Structure 1
Amino acid sequence: MADETHRLQLDWPKRYNVIKGIARGLLYLHQDSRLRVIHRDLKASNILLDDEMNPKISDFGLARSFGGNETEANTNKVVGTYGYISPEYASEGLYSTKSDVFSFGVLVLEIVSGNKNRGFSHPDHQLNLLGHAWRLFIEGKPLELISESIIESCNLFEVLRSIHVGLLCVQENPVDRPSMSYVVLMLGNEDALPQPKQPGFFTERDLIEVAYSSTQSKPYSANECSISLLEAR
């Protein structure tokens, strides 16, 4: 987040509303719009909040649309942002709706924790935010991921469910990731959730090595930005 003021503005009910709003927006792009749209650069700085803290997905400069039954494509030029880009896109240039699902999962974990995935550091390990969240989850300590600024306002069931859904979205294999229609459903009910598998790019080294290897055969563009986590506009 940009500063402590924005952290205090975004208590847990507002953050949960943002999570659900982004999910509904992606569901519209992937399923309900006339053409299926894959954003390809979903990240915190591309989520704008109105005066009532309702989220809007912005910046469709890298988006691609599909007609008919098309659901995926391959590109020789990988574009996106370190920390949000999915493994199959970074390493193979393959993008699909599941690429956006991965980025959404990263966003969810950032919103819950108040930390960015890229550049995250912890004194006990060398994992990034995805790896840290995964480690806490499998150790039965997911509540340690919660940002201190929302502890007093948080609904524990909603927070734990959000962490669980976020980890389902960042699983390494795109086949294992849920569709956005299922994500919206999971966020809206209390049914039991499937167990997530290991996330993709759960260390910074994973992403750097894949990005480097991909440059040996294709151009790689990783857009740098200063992320203000869900700053009101």
Structure 2
Amino acid sequence: MISGKTRLWLMGLLLPLWASASASEPAPAASSAPALIAALGQPAPAHTAFAEARFLQVLDRPLVVSGELSWLGGDRLQRRVDHPQQETSIIADGEVTQQRAGKSPRHFSLKRAPQLQVLLDSFVALLSGDAARLQQAFEIRQGGDAGGAWTLTLVPRDARVAKTVASIRIDGYAKASRCMHMQEADGDLAVDLLGPLAAQMPAAPTREALQALCQGAP
């Protein structure tokens, strides 16, 4: 059986790739979420730096990792962690592979967790800018101005997914997504700083400090 924390790790692998869409073009003037999602779509391959702080209720300090995320097209995604230890994880052809230095690779099939396949399909829709397909899996709420600072909040429609993830929020400015917040159903929180902002991850991050970074002007 796939553990709840493994499910959350996989979702953390999937979403930040879409949230790091290129800022090379202006965002649409329209304020609708579908228009913004369509503008954020990007071709594969796509790569972005990330730094993640995970706030767990059982720990006094957040866990912080950093590295690079890659979407290689279709359902093929890769998460490479460089710090604090090296680890590479790949989703491809319905299988997940995790490799740590000095250890044998771990493999498991997404068929063991059908809700993850639903999420994978949905996030591929995000990466390609397919808002209609995404709305089948999430209730989508937009705040702010698509031409300036904005937020997108995704609430799972699937009750099985909602038992693990309460909501996902992306903060951005124009066509640049800056942060992703994954609020877990048990109260834990993961915050990813994306692209250039990843280099600004504090040595001892707090929720308040990360919120200020995410909502600051680029």
Same topology, TM > 0.5: no
Specify which structure has the higher proportion of helix. Answer: 1
Bigger RCO (CA 8 Å, 6+ sep): 1
Q: Normalising by the residue count of structure 2, what TM-score does the alignment of the two structures yield?
A: 0.31
Q: Normalising by the residue count of structure 1, what TM-score does the alignment of the two structures yield?
A: 0.29
Specify which structure has the higher proportion of strand. Answer: 2
